[in-house]
């Protein structure tokens, strides 16, 4: 394109903007569309025939850019609909899961050190009894005993959390001294 053609492109901004506004029905989207069309026209400037109608060429590029944007938007919307259909519409409340996880973590952390370390090595790290005993430099029997006590304590926590009665939640009061009268 020569300087005269560049000047003509500047002169075509008015019609391009009007057409873009009629296509998009939105001022900012129309400006974006004109900019994208002008970038595309610049990239394909070699396809413009000298002596051709610049206005028709630019309006055609603008229209095709609009169609491409619309198709891309429709395709993206369809993908989002498909993803939305795959997602379960009902999920358990996240707060309950977090509270439960915090309770389990508190119960685990309240175990005595030797029980907590044994349980961690076997249950979380996946070490065998012998590997865990070697790592802690204790006999396998001692490890199994500590592991059994840790699991029993967590089962007790679990039983208490699942079947905690109103009676167990109430603090126990004891009368010390005083008269019954």
176 pLDDT band, cuts 50/70/90, is low
- Mean pLDDT across the chain, nearest whole number? 83
DSSP state of 120: I
Which whole number is the average pLDDT over 11-23?
Answer: 92
CA distance 20 to 162: 64
Give the Cβ contact number of residue 9 at 10 Å.
Answer: 17
Contact assessment for residue 63 and residue 20, using Cβ atoms and an 8 Å cutoff:
no
All structural domains of the chain: 3-86 (1.10.1740.10), 97-164 (1.10.10.10)
pLDDT digits (tens, 9 = 90+) for 80-121: 888 888 776 666 667 777 888 888 888 888 899 889 889 989
Contact assessment for residue 11 and residue 58, using Cβ atoms and an 8 Å cutoff:
no
Handedness of CA 51, 55, 60, 66 (dihedral sign): positive
Which whole number is the average pLDDT over 126-145?
Answer: 92
CA distance 116 to 112: 6
Residue 171 has pLDDT above 60, yes or no: no
CA distance 8 to 6: 5
Contact assessment for residue 41 and residue 57, using Cβ atoms and an 8 Å cutoff:
yes
């Amino acid at each position: 394109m020569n300087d005269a053609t560049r000047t003509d492109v500047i002169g075509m901004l008015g019609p391009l903007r009007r057409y873009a506004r009629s296509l998009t029905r939105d001022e900012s989207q129309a400006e974006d569309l004109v900019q994208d069309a002008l970038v595309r026209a610049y990239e394909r400037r070699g396809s413009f025939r000298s002596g051709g109608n610049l206005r028709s060429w630019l309006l055609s590029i603008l229209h095709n850019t609009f169609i491409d944007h619309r198709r891309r938007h429709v395709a993206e919307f369809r993908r989002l609909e498909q993803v939305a259909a795959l997602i379960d519409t009902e999920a358990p409340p996240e707060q309950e899961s977090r509270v439960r996880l915090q309770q389990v973590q508190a119960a685990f952390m309240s175990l005595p050190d030797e029980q907590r370390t044994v349980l961690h090595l076997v249950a979380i790290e996946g070490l065998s009894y012998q590997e865990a005993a070697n790592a802690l430099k204790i006999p396998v029997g001692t490890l199994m005993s500590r592991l059994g006590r840790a699991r029993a304590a967590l089962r007790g926590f679990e039983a208490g959390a699942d079947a905690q009665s109103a009676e167990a939640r109430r603090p126990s009061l004891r009368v010390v001294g005083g008269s019954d009268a």
